[in-house]
Structure 1
Amino acid sequence: MSTSLKDSAPQGARLPIRQGRSTKVRRQRVKAAWLFLAPMLIALTLVAGWPLFRTFFLSLTDASLSDLDAANIIGFENYLVYENGLWFGVLADHVWWQSVWNTVYFSIVSVSLEVIFGVIVALILNAEFKGRTIVRAAVLIPWAIPTIVSAQMWAWMLNDQFGIINHLLMMAGIIENPIAWTASATYSMWAVIMVDVWKTIPFVALLVLAALQMLPKDCYEAAEVDGIHPVRVFFKVTLPLITPALMVAVIFRLLDALRVFDVIYVLTSNSTSTMSMSVYARQQLVEFQDVGYGSAASTLLFLIIALATIAYLYVGRNKIQLGGD
């Protein structure tokens, strides 16, 4: 009895010591991590933090592009103000809310199509067939082309006078007269979405393909032996395993889509039917030379993107935790 007490006493005494050592090591690692991250955080603060603060400050003024030094602080009047029985400011502008809806609609539809077609392309590229290397290289070409160049290229092809798209559709008997794809309020948004999807499918496909290459072969061999249908294997095995890669692809594409500017501006300029939040802010800043008003729109754009990112990460993390449990 005494022997067991002697043997158990030192073990109980050593446990707090080990915990203390592990806590000390953890603190040292955290401190070292912060030291290594400090240069990057400082650079990020200077590169991104200062312009963001400057934009928010200008949104509180009546600054004009012609004379920034003569700006006066007017508070939140650029955002919303009530005067003479009417509401004024960005939040009271129906064009702003139209641009918000256009951006959200573009983001949801574009990213959804990119994920669907990206997964299909990745599954094709993951299969064994002759000339797979050449096909993989060719698929990356749309992504490698600069957005301005690809948008201008598609603007020429979609032109209602000399565009090859209308020419091919008329030859096939699908349409009788040329369609102004980028000038029509009915088709312009879909034309923009088509161009964006064409360009960014390779990005999603590349991330999904990398995830597919890392999947264990045992699961598929067991499913093949059991005679499980390939479609069921995809939804029950493949899709859950590549979900982390899909989440990365979606969050990156969602951030790009919410701040989209170049492809919309090149194809449709300042058209209200396709105007995004970035195009709206640029119009106020450059064309109307209202720096305060445009800065307020830019600040709201940043807040919307930040909230969307936080919400997506929160939902995605909860789904992963529930799936793990």
Structure 2
Amino acid sequence: MARQSTIRTEAAAVVTTRHLSLGRSRVRAAWLFLAPMLLVLLLVAGWPLARTIYFGFTDADLSDLSSYEFIGFANYLEYDEGEWYGLLADPDWWNAARNTLYFAVISVSIETTLGLIIALALNASFPGRSILRAAVLIPWAIPTVVSAKMWGWMLHDQFGVLNDMLLGLGIIAQPVAWTADPDLAMAAVIMVDVWKTTPFMALLILAGLQMLPSDCYEAARVDGVHPVKVFFRITLPLIRPAIMVAVIFRLLDALRIFDLIYVLTSNSADTMSMSVYARQQLVDFQAVGYGSAASTLLFMVIAVLTVIYIVAGRVNLGEGGR
């Protein structure tokens, strides 16, 4: 008996060693396949990011990028002769930060709500569902610059179709300059962004809905549970990971919004985002060092807010949620 026990122990040890060896070989193979992609990613994204961060500590100018000096944190914050200078002391930067956060919170909230409603509707069985699913994705498929230019014409105060419709219905008495009015410009930008990006949210949430197990709903139907309770107690908790991932992706896009705002309102202070501010410093004012500092700060803001959101939502992307 003792000999048999020893043999079993040795056999188990051999099997364990083989499994560990197989696991290590698979890990090495995985890294081998990932190495080209990681190298390309490092060259395409890592090097420009590192160079931008470095330029943020210099006084580089667009007219002559070969001649610059290292100035430390002066682009971010500097005290000189009783005055504070730099990004963190610039009211225009803080205005752009407020605009960006306001835009991100409002637009993502509306898009998540509408995306959930649309996803629930598209998840139901009805004739022509496939055609409707494809049609819903059209706004998202249109390039942002194209859709922004299209909406810019539609929102025009003199010959825009939206003003014409509202005038015909008697809702407004005179044409409205949607993108030029300080009180309406941000609302117009958010409206266009919601129109374009809600299909993206609906698509991700719909994917989560289609993966839900049917036995839970059959049990609820047998027990006579009200559909509203089924939604809040079964559907919503089960699709929470999908919603959280969709919100994270959309939040990353919203925080770095540039093209939509720039095409619709250019450098207007009422809608200027952090990306538009960085572009203004880099291109219009040719201050590469200062603009790079603004881009670096934008990157840090997005990274910090994303980490906070993930931790607060307790989302484990590797295991599908907790």
Q: Give 1:307-322 correspondences, 5 Å limit.
A: 307-318=304-315
Equivalent residue for 1:228, pick from 225, 230, 244: 225
Which residue of the partner structure matches residue 81 of structure 1? 78
Which residue of the partner structure matches residue 110 of structure 1? 107
Relative distance call for 1:165 and 1:291 in structure 2 (3 A) is same
Equivalent residue for 1:123, pick from 120, 123, 127: 120
Distance 1:305 1:244 in 2: 20
Shift of residue 27 of structure 1?
A: 1.9
Residue 159 of structure 2 aligns to a residue whose secondary structure is coil
TM-score between both structures, scaled by the size of structure 1:
0.93
> Is 1:286 aligned to 2:286, yes or no?
no
Which residue of the partner structure matches residue 94 of structure 1? 91
Relative distance call for 1:244 and 1:166 in structure 2 (3 A) is same
Residue 79 of structure 2 aligns to a residue whose secondary structure is strand
Which residue of the partner structure matches residue 273 of structure 2? 276
Residue 174 of structure 1 aligns to a residue whose secondary structure is coil
Q: Percent of pairs identical after alignment?
A: 63
CA contact (8 A) 2:201 2:246 kept: yes
CA contact (8 A) 2:61 2:289 kept: yes
Q: Give 1:18-37 correspondences, 5 Å limit.
A: 18-37=15-34
Relative distance call for 1:324 and 1:45 in structure 2 (3 A) is closer
Q: Give 1:1-325 correspondences, 5 Å limit.
A: 3=1, 5-318=2-315
Distance 1:321 1:265 in 2: 36
TM-score between both structures, scaled by the size of structure 2:
0.93
Distance 2:97 2:282 in 1: 17
CA contact (8 A) 2:157 2:163 kept: yes
Distance 1:323 1:231 in 2: 25
What is the Cα-based RMSD across aligned positions, in Å?
2.1
Per-residue deviation, residues 105-159 of structure 1 (Å, max 9, x unmatched): 1111111111110111111111122222221121111011111111111111112
Structure with a larger share of its residues in helix? 1
Shift of residue 7 of structure 1?
A: 4.6
Distance 1:78 1:321 in 2: 38
Shift of residue 89 of structure 1?
A: 0.6
Per-residue deviation, residues 75-121 of structure 1 (Å, max 9, x unmatched): 11111111011110111111111111111111111111111101111
Shift of residue 9 of structure 1?
A: 4.1
Counterpart residue type for residue 63 of structure 2: S
CA contact (8 A) 2:274 2:298 kept: yes
Distance 2:103 2:255 in 1: 8
Distance 1:61 1:298 in 2: 14
Per-residue deviation, residues 13-38 of structure 1 (Å, max 9, x unmatched): 44444433333322222222111111
Per-residue deviation, residues 173-206 of structure 1 (Å, max 9, x unmatched): 3222322211122111111111001001111111
Q: Which consecutive unaligned segments of at least 5 residues does structure 2 have?
A: none
Distance 2:195 2:136 in 1: 10
Per-residue deviation, residues 21-72 of structure 1 (Å, max 9, x unmatched): 3333222222221111111111000000110111112111111111111212
Relative distance call for 1:309 and 1:56 in structure 2 (3 A) is same
Residue 249 of structure 1 aligns to a residue whose secondary structure is helix
CA contact (8 A) 2:78 2:84 kept: yes
Distance 2:211 2:188 in 1: 36
Deviant stretches of 4+, over 6 Å:
319-325
Shift of residue 301 of structure 1?
A: 0.9
Q: Which consecutive unaligned segments of at least 5 residues does structure 1 have?
A: none
When the two structures are aligned, how many residues end up with a matched partner? Answer: 322
Distance 1:148 1:72 in 2: 37
Residue 291 of structure 2 aligns to a residue whose secondary structure is helix
CA contact (8 A) 2:212 2:238 kept: yes
Distance 1:210 1:50 in 2: 35
Per-residue deviation, residues 250-274 of structure 1 (Å, max 9, x unmatched): 1211111111001001111111111
